[in-house]
Amino acid sequence: MDWSQIDLRTVGVLWNQALQNAGIAPPLLTVINWVVAAVVLLFVGLNMVIGLIWLERKIAARIQDRLGPNRVGPFGLLQTVADALKLLTKEDVTPTDADRITYNLAPALAVFHVLMTLAVIPFADGVIGADLNVGVLYIVAFGSVGSMAALMAGWASNNKYALVGGFRVVAQLLSYEIPLVFAMMIPVLAAGTMRMNGLAEAQGQFGGLGWYVWVMPCAFFIFLAATLAEGERAPFDLLEAESEIVAGFNIEYSGMKFAWFFLAFFLNSWVLSAIGTTLFLGGWQGPFVDRIPALGVVYFFAKTMVMFWVLAWIRATFPRLRIDQMMDFCWKFLVPLALVLLVGTAIILKLGLPSPFDGLALLVWNLALLIGGFWLLGKAQQRAVYASKRAFTPQLPRL
């Protein structure tokens, strides 16, 4: 059996031939293909969430020395299905005086913006909804639509906690979008393209050592930190700080509307992992992928799951930051770090060093910035601790 024939594009060609033989005109064929692709994409995305929620709960449970869901189905696998059914049949409480239209529109918009970002994720070489020339910016664009959803939900609920939660989360999403965008710009700088598939392609050199995470760990760190904030995950999950604002912008939502927010949250985490995989972990690149392109799907999902696992790990272990600490970390640490990194990367890449050495120079530069940045952060932290200690030094009683 010729393994190189097993390619998702071959399946596509066969499918097209079959439809053409059935007498369907090419323009209609294109539209049918789009609809099929869109439905498949949504189906994969939505079903994955069921597994993701189970996975995250299981990971968090094991890290925190608990069992996690284990009653419904084998290993508790059907727990999420049961939860979804419960939410579907649960009474929906709309608070009096809520702004009805905005209130109902917000969860739909939250799901919509995450589903739209699935369009530019390359699952394997060429297996991508639409390989846009502006792929990276397309993701950022729909990310900003997501913050509108939080704003609408917070405003429409007629609840002060929801309003404060909504505004906080929007301030957080806005702030962390800056380091996220700059961290995404650095792979674009190295690859010279914004197409998501092109970015994955550009990391195929040196058998896995060409992944950008190896040559630009500092950019990956900034991306990871910004991802945690953009995904509203701990330690940046201020929107659901129970001790301060109960549950954030979705406090008044129940039943299916809450389910949509929940789904958007987990799918967003997965999408962010997938973007990180494409930008930094080589996307669908892996051994033998040039001979058997279908393997790309396996590599892509494996890497995305590793990234998702890291996000879940961080969420299960880190305590929550205060809002001023979070803002400081973004504007006074990540943004300057990202700017310095960008300038240095541009200069190093333009020096015209021969092939392996430019990567090495980048690695040294990134490591130096990471270490230097954290050293400065530690110093600032120490100063802050000393300052607060001096402020609270008790007056010794005079003898």
**Does 202 sit near another protein (CB under 8 A)?**
no
- In the range 273-312, which residues lie near another protein by CB under 8 A? none
| Residue 37, token pair as written in the block | 């692709």
**Does 357 sit near another protein (CB under 8 A)?**
no
Q: Of residues 15, 60, 72, 102, which one binds another protein by CB under 8 A?
A: 102
Q: Of residues 8, 19, 29, 41, which one binds another protein by CB under 8 A?
A: 41
Length of the chain in terms of residues written: 399
**Does 137 sit near another protein (CB under 8 A)?**
yes
Q: Of residues 4, 10, 20, 133, which one binds another protein by CB under 8 A?
A: 133
CB-based contact 88:94 (threshold 8 Å): no
**Does 155 sit near another protein (CB under 8 A)?**
yes
- Smallest gap from residue 128 Cβ to another protein (A): 10
In DSSP terms, 127 is beta-bridged to 124
Rg (CA), the chain: 23
- Smallest gap from residue 152 Cβ to another protein (A): 7
**Residue with the two structure tokens 């390619």:** 7
**Does 210 sit near another protein (CB under 8 A)?**
no
**Does 81 sit near another protein (CB under 8 A)?**
no
Q: Which is nearer to another protein, 92 or 290 (CB)?
A: 92
| Residue 84, token pair as written in the block | 């979804």
Q: Of residues 8, 306, 327, 353, which one binds another protein by CB under 8 A?
A: 327
**Does 134 sit near another protein (CB under 8 A)?**
yes
* DSSP 8-state symbol, 211: S
- Smallest gap from residue 41 Cβ to another protein (A): 7
Q: Which is nearer to another protein, 137 or 306 (CB)?
A: 137
* Integer CA distances (angstroms), 261 to 105, 116, 237, 279, in order: 12, 15, 14, 26
Q: Which is nearer to another protein, 9 or 160 (CB)?
A: 160
Q: Of residues 121, 151, 279, 361, which one binds another protein by CB under 8 A?
A: 151
With contacts defined by CB under 8 A, how many residues of the chain interact with another protein?
A: 96
Which value, to the nearest 10 degrees, does the dihedral of the CA atoms of residues 290, 294, 295, 297 take?
Answer: 120
How far apart are the C-alpha atoms of 145 and 97, rounded to whole Å?
25
Shortest CA distance to 292 belongs to which of 124, 130, 123, 41?
Answer: 124
* Integer CA distances (angstroms), 376 to 178, 369, 389, 390, in order: 21, 10, 20, 21
**Residue with the two structure tokens 């913006």:** 113
User: Which residue stretch of 72-80, 114-122, 281-289, 359-367 sits at the interface with another protein (rule: CB under 8 A)?
Assistant: 114-122
**Does 347 sit near another protein (CB under 8 A)?**
yes
- Smallest gap from residue 238 Cβ to another protein (A): 11
Instruction: Tell me the three state secondary structure of residue 251.
Output: coil
Q: Of residues 55, 80, 153, 157, which one binds another protein by CB under 8 A?
A: 157
- Smallest gap from residue 53 Cβ to another protein (A): 16
Shortest CA distance to 286 belongs to which of 204, 220, 359?
Answer: 204
| Residue 276, token pair as written in the block | 């990180």
Q: Of residues 1, 22, 91, 398, which one binds another protein by CB under 8 A?
A: 91
User: Which residue stretch of 49-57, 109-117, 266-274, 380-388 sits at the interface with another protein (rule: CB under 8 A)?
Assistant: 109-117
With residue 139 as reference, give the H or E element that holds it. helix 135-156
**Does 346 sit near another protein (CB under 8 A)?**
yes
**Does 193 sit near another protein (CB under 8 A)?**
yes
- The 10 Å CB-count burial string (b at 16+, else e) for 39-68 is eebeeebeebbbebbbbbbbbbbeeeeeeb
Shortest CA distance to 310 belongs to which of 352, 340, 280?
Answer: 280
- Smallest gap from residue 297 Cβ to another protein (A): 19
How far apart are the C-alpha atoms of 158 and 265, rounded to whole Å?
22
Q: Which is nearer to another protein, 114 or 213 (CB)?
A: 114
Q: Which is nearer to another protein, 142 or 299 (CB)?
A: 142
Q: Which is nearer to another protein, 267 or 312 (CB)?
A: 267
